[in-house]
Amino acid sequence: MTFSVRRVRTDEWPRVRALRLEALQDADAAIAFLDNHASSAARPDDFWRERAENAASGDAAAQFIAEEGDDWIATVTVLRRAAGEADHHGLPLPHARADVVGVYMRPSHRGRGLIDALLTSAAEWSQEHGDHALTLDVHADNARARAAYARCGFVLTGRRFTSAIGDEVEMRRVLRHAGSDSGDRVHS
């Protein structure tokens, strides 16, 4: 399998929407996302245009996709927040933080290294913006996701909490600060 990883482009909002709706129909969506298919499907096109625009440019958010040919097969988003801003659970952050959210890959492509490549791109982008770590929340019962994140350098922080989807644990990956190129990458 050969795939490439890149940041989404603003004009790709219909594909951003389609992949999100696909993710929300996944069998594990109930323990993976704070959103549901019905509410996302009801959002107007302007919502998706703005979401894609924010994820395609600037330094507050970036959405990366893995594509095989022209087919989008996986995605990861990084949201950067300043101290005092609310996180995706609505809680104020005491320190600036870069959060990995919206992780999805098609079931047929799991276990093939996509998550490693996506999280590497996310880490490089975050490093370029001065972040020292990536943080994510994962459902305590989602053993497959926890193992994949651990393999990619994320460790449990000890923080455990209850969210809209149940018991979650926080994981963090410390980033190295060496200059690197974060353009499109091809993986085989």
For the stretch 24-47, pLDDT in tens is 999 888 778 888 899 999 999 999
Give me the pLDDT at residue 152, please. 95
Strand (E) or helix (H) holding 38:
helix 37-41
Give me the pLDDT at residue 167, please. 92
Whether 187 shows a pLDDT value over 80: the answer reads no
Domain with 164 in it = 3-187
Q: What is the CATH number of the domain that holds 71?
A: 3.40.630.30
Number of compact structural domains in the chain: 1
Whether 181 shows a pLDDT value over 80: the answer reads no
Mean pLDDT of 54-63: 95
pLDDT tens track for 111-169: 888 999 999 999 999 999 999 999 999 999 999 999 999 999 999 999 998 888 889 99
**3-state class of 26 per DSSP?**
coil
Whether 186 shows a pLDDT value over 50: the answer reads no
CB 87 within 8 A of CB 136: no
The percent of residues in the chain predicted with pLDDT above 90, rounded, is 70
Instruction: Provide the whole-model pTM.
Output: 0.89
Classify each residue of 150-169 as buried b or exposed e, where b means 16 or more C-beta atoms within 10 Å of its C-beta. eebbbeeeeeeeeeebeebb
Q: Which of 99, 23, 30 is nearest to 60 (CA)?
A: 99
Q: What is the mean pLDDT of the chain?
A: 89
